[in-house]
Structure 1
């Protein structure tokens, strides 16, 4: 391993984009194409939008058993299942999804979309434009979390789901879950938000802006128009650096200290060209990401997260959250230094349907919402135990507004 994020002995040179491309194996993905250009919060439109998604379980005739699960920054629609056959990584919540598990697919119809702006099948910077034979690249428009949710609403319409029994998300997925609850409360039966804030803080924006800067100042960035470059010619160094920066914020100082301390990497001498174990660990995660993700998507999604503010244009956070009256569980990770529990405490206090803040105990920092599947599973079970997708007082299958 070297400090560029490459691992020449273990992996080939990174492709210009590690995202899913037309012609790749589809795996479990399905797609829905939006019927019209998507109106963006910025005032423009995005034509030819496709969302990739995966489902587990069977949809009830009236759609009332549907659960929407929303992924974090570098996640995707592959919520459960092994790697391979079009999926570079195993399902990120495989331990929670399946028959008899917290997301019990014998009862629930579980839907996981790849976010708009992503790179695992949904329209994003690496996608080809509908108006000419070229990729969007650096001309891909700025997106907000609300734009992403607007696209997911059309996915729900295409699947015949008037109201989700539950919307569940952590980190960036939690931001989208909050927007679902506030923008479309009549379509959100219940809510679970994990390790996410009502609005990004100055410090969180600062961390995100460093990562985006690392990507956009890479010599291989070429203004975002790098997707046709040969392997090794894209902005993989900047993307690898962004991943290193992010991963430090995802874990806790005590965990890194206990796991690595000041130990050198085996066979290497720090100060003489070698690395500490913690540096090797960060290099490993950087190398993995550049082979499965797209730098343009990373920048696009990070910009959207930096712009997250549920109270924008709604009279502030408190007034906005009053719209979301559905049952809600809000949980934070006690060692999370990226989105500390004070932010989830604010959500729990202001959401009418939340009784108290739930705490996930973990040494793993922000990543605890992905790792502590036993504790998260208990929260999912609690939420779904009382969930229904039907609008109170409305017969199943009757359209909203009838």
Structure 2
């Protein structure tokens, strides 16, 4: 069973001190967030990790957005309170593509997630775990919550916003919602609006979790059970959708797993691959968070209420020749359909292939804020949130 410990909320400069949480993560209280659907989500806490130093005019900040089952731990090893290694190794650090000798890099655990930010495992105002009562949130809500974190850190605009997959959706939403706060955007294997096939794949995953008898309407934590089978099946569906038929055939073919005899009911190699990823996710992720985040992805549409995708992104200046936006596709994964791609004013879509080696800025001077691990800062306890502590293996898939 996933335990639900209380997490002391600290000021933006202070690390979390709860013994079961990643000691490099930090948290900020952003207050009540009014959601797109009109609901009010109270006492919202957002957790993040950061690297490097913010310069005097806060012009060197970069936001990295994680994917569906990722978190704010972009780089770094497994450790106390952190069951997975960084999901984008080599991206951040001195001399890395996001060079911390020049840049201040922030990664925020998404609203509705399960690595410290307010989500289904957090405590509701009545003192009980939200569980299935946690409200539906949209990608736009999540971007707005992240903007409040930026406000708390003194970041008026980002030098660059980077995201892949679900993280790319939030990066695209930043472009559409806060064009004045984003200088450049790097959107990887994502889209400006979720298409029907993406919504359909997500729907089957949600239904797989909800069909597990231990789901209990999302109230499993209070009843001491966990929908292991449902979440595992959802992950297997997801991993099938991430890979093209060609790649699956090339990697696995009809090979059996080890000495297993498939004629006697043994596993094919591709089946073992799916079972492996299911077991890893179940050990480290919350099922209700998976449901709410998958449902959030279905809401993604930067053109909603803005006259469509093209007008929404034209404000930012997205075009095939725009230096401010770089959509990147993935050659081996199943790409988002062109109809829902990152379409700009002149038809720039997410199938564009680009190679990006570095993101550069001016050198920081007289640091305003540092993420040095040796500077713990001063903690101010606030309202508690709850987080999962399921041990699990490493996973570096963007999903």
Match of 1:331 in 2: 328
- Structure 2's unaligned 5+ residue stretches are 8-17, 319-323, 369-399
Q: 8 Å contact 1:329–1:348 — kept in the other structure?
A: no
Q: Tell me the C-alpha RMSD between the 2 structures.
A: 2.3
Query: Equivalent of 1:172, from 152, 166, 190?
Result: 166
The within-5 A match list for 1:177-256 is 177-230=171-224, 233-256=225-248
Query: Equivalent of 1:346, from 339, 343, 347?
Result: 343
Does residue 273 of the first structure (1) align with residue 270 of the second (2)?
no
Match of 2:75 in 1: 80
Give, in whole Å, the separation in 2 of the partners of 1:328 and 1:387.
20
Cα distance per residue 1:8-31 (max 9 Å; x no partner): xxxxxxx347x9874523331100
The within-5 A match list for 1:2-401 is 15-16=1-2, 22=7, 23=18, 24-34=20-30, 36-129=31-124, 131-230=125-224, 233-325=225-317, 327-340=324-337, 343-344=340-341, 346-347=343-344, 349-350=346-347, 358-359=352-353, 375=355, 377-378=356-357, 381=358, 384-385=359-360
Give, in whole Å, the separation in 1 of the partners of 2:342 and 2:126.
48
TM-score by length of 1: 0.82
Give, in whole Å, the separation in 2 of the partners of 1:100 and 1:349.
35
Task: Point out which structure has higher relative CO (alpha carbons under 8 A, 6+ apart).
Answer: 2
Q: 8 Å contact 1:333–1:341 — kept in the other structure?
A: no
Q: Which moved more, 1:100-109 or 1:264-273?
A: 264-273
CA displacement at 1:273 relative to structure 2: 2.7
Give, in whole Å, the separation in 2 of the partners of 1:203 and 1:221.
25
Give, in whole Å, the separation in 1 of the partners of 2:90 and 2:330.
19
Give, in whole Å, the separation in 2 of the partners of 1:273 and 1:158.
56
Say which SS state the counterpart of residue 135 (structure 1) adopts: coil
CA displacement at 1:347 relative to structure 2: 4.3
CA displacement at 1:252 relative to structure 2: 2.4
From the superposition, tell whether residues 329 and 302 of structure 1 become closer, same or farther in structure 2 (CA, over 3 Å).
same
CA displacement at 1:128 relative to structure 2: 1.2
TM-score by length of 2: 0.82
Give, in whole Å, the separation in 2 of the partners of 1:386 and 1:86.
33
- Structure 1's unaligned 5+ residue stretches are 1-14, 361-374, 390-396, 398-402
Q: 8 Å contact 1:21–1:121 — kept in the other structure?
A: no
Q: 8 Å contact 1:78–1:90 — kept in the other structure?
A: yes
